[in-house]
C-alpha cells in the first residue's frame, strides 16, 4: 500500500475512533449541598474527584451552590446533573423536584441522634425533661435538630410544647450544659464522642439514643440519561472502598470514614418526613433554617 493511502486510512481510523472515545468518557456535574464554594469543593472532595474519574471513566465537574434551595433550582433548570445531600434535604428535594431520582446511599457509621444530660443531673428519661430547656444545634440538621426533636417525640415529649428549645453552636451548647443553663442537648453520636475526648472534665450521660438515621444520598436529575446514571451507580458499587476512602480523605470528611454505599428508595426516608411533621412542617416545601 502506498504511503498516501496508508495516511488516509490512518486518518479515517483515528476519526472514527473519536466519537467512541467521547461516548466512553461522558462529563457530569455534581453539587454538594453542605459545601458552598468551588474552593471548598476542591479541598474537601478533590481526592474523590480524582479517584472517581480514574475508576469510572467519567469526567466530574463541581457545581458550587450557595444554598440548598439553589441546588434544587439548578437541578430543575438542568444546570447540574447530580446532587450529594443529606436525609433532611432529600425529602424537600423530592417534594420540589418530583423527577429527581435517588441513586445510591452513603450509610454513615453510628449515625444517630442522642439526648444528652450532665451525668450529675436528675434527668433519667426524656419524660423528665418536660418543662425544661433543651438545646439543639444547626436548624434543619438531620442528626442535630430534626433527629433529636423526633427522639423526644418518640418518647412522648412534644418538642414544640413540652420543652423550651433553643439553637446554638456545639461550643455554646457545651458551656450551657456545663453551667446548667439547659437541662439537655440534642446531638449526634460523633458529637458525643468528641465531647468526651475534648472535654473529659464534663461528665455526660445519654438518656435516649435514636434509631439509625437514613443514609446521605446521591440524587440524579430527571434529565440525566439513564445509561449515564446507571454507569455512575455501578462505579460506586464496584469501587466502594476506594471511593469511600477518597471521600473521607479530607479533614472535613473524616467523620465519614467507614461508611457503606447502599441501595436506597424513597420509603427509606419516611422517618425523616415524621421529623418534619414533629417540628410543624408537614408539607416538606422549604428547607428549615434557610
According to the model, what pLDDT value does residue 11 have?
A: 42
Instruction: Tell me, yes or no, if the two domains 25-109+214-278 and 113-209 fold the same way.
Output: yes
The reported pLDDT for the residue numbered 156 is 97
Cell 467519567: give the residue: 58
DSSP letter at 35 equals -
Question: Which CATH code is given to the segment(s) 25-109+214-278?
Answer: 3.40.190.10
Q: Is 178 exposed, middle or buried (0-12, 13-18, 19+ CB in 10 A)?
A: middle
pLDDT digits (tens, 9 = 90+) for 161-197: 999 999 999 899 999 999 999 999 999 999 999 999 9
Residue 201: per-residue pLDDT: 95
pLDDT digit string, tens, across residues 210-231? 999 999 999 999 999 999 999 9
Q: What was the pLDDT predicted at 13?
A: 41
If you write DSSP's letter for every residue of 169-211 in order, what string do you get?
-HHHHHHHHHHTSSSEEEEEHHHHHHHHHH-TTS-EEEEEEPP
The pLDDT score that the predictor gives to residue 158 is 97
Indicate whether this model's pTM tops 0.75: yes
- Residue 131 has which C-alpha cell? 418543662
H helix runs in 219-269, sequence order: 226-238, 240-247
The residues spanned by each domain of the chain are: 25-109+214-278, 113-209
Across the beta sheet with 82-85, the strand order is 59-62, 27-32, 82-85, 216-220, 101-107, 260-262
Residue 121: how many other CB atoms lie within 10 Å = 19
Is the torsion defined by CA of 55, 51, 31, 84 positive or negative? positive
Give the CATH superfamily of 113-209: Periplasmic binding protein-like II (3.40.190.10)
How much is the pLDDT for 8? Answer: 37
pLDDT at position 18: 44
pLDDT for the residue 24: 61
> What are the per-10-residue average pLDDT scores of the chain (290 residues)?
43 43 75 93 96 96 94 96 96 93 95 97 97 94 96 97 95 96 96 95 97 96 96 96 96 92 93 96 86
Q: What are phi and psi of 163, to 5 degrees?
A: -135, 160
pLDDT of 145: 96
Amino acid at each position: 500500500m502506498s504511503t498516501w493511502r496508508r495516511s488516509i486510512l490512518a486518518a479515517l481510523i483515528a476519526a472514527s475512533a473519536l466519537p467512541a472515545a467521547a461516548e466512553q468518557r461522558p462529563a457530569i456535574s455534581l453539587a454538594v449541598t453542605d459545601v458552598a464554594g468551588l474552593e471548598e469543593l476542591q479541598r474537601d472532595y478533590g481526592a474523590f474527584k480524582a479517584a472517581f474519574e480514574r475508576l469510572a471513566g467519567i469526567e466530574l465537574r463541581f457545581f458550587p451552590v450557595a444554598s440548598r434551595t439553589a441546588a434544587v433550582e439548578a437541578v430543575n433548570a438542568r444546570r447540574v446533573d447530580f446532587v450529594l445531600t443529606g436525609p433532611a434535604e432529600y425529602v424537600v428535594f423530592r417534594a420540589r423536584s418530583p423527577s429527581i431520582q435517588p441513586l445510591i446511599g452513603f450509610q454513615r457509621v453510628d449515625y444517630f441522634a442522642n439526648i444528652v444530660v450532665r451525668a450529675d443531673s436528675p434527668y433519667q428519661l426524656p419524660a423528665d425533661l418536660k418543662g425544661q430547656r433543651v438545646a439543639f444545634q444547626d436548624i434543619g440538621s438531620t442528626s442535630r435538630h430534626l433527629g433529636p426533636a423526633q427522639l423526644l417525640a418518640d418518647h412522648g415529649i412534644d418538642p414544640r410544647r413540652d420543652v423550651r428549645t433553643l439553637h446554638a453552636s456545639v461550643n455554646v451548647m457545651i458551656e450551657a450544659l456545663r453551667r446548667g443553663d439547659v437541662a439537655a442537648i440534642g446531638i449526634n453520636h460523633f458529637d458525643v464522642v468528641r465531647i468526651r475526648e475534648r472535654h473529659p472534665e464534663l461528665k455526660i450521660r445519654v438518656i435516649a439514643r435514636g434509631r439509625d438515621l437514613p443514609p446521605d444520598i446521591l440524587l440524579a436529575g430527571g434529565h440525566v440519561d439513564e445509561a449515564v446514571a446507571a454507569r455512575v451507580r455501578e462505579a460506586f458499587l464496584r469501587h466502594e472502598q476506594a471511593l469511600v476512602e477518597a471521600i473521607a480523605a479530607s479533614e472535613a470528611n473524616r467523620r465519614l470514614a467507614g461508611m457503606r454505599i447502599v441501595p436506597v428508595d424513597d420509603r427509606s426516608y419516611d422517618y425523616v418526613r415524621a421529623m418534619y411533621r414533629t417540628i410543624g412542617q408537614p408539607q416538606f416545601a422549604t428547607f428549615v433554617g434557610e
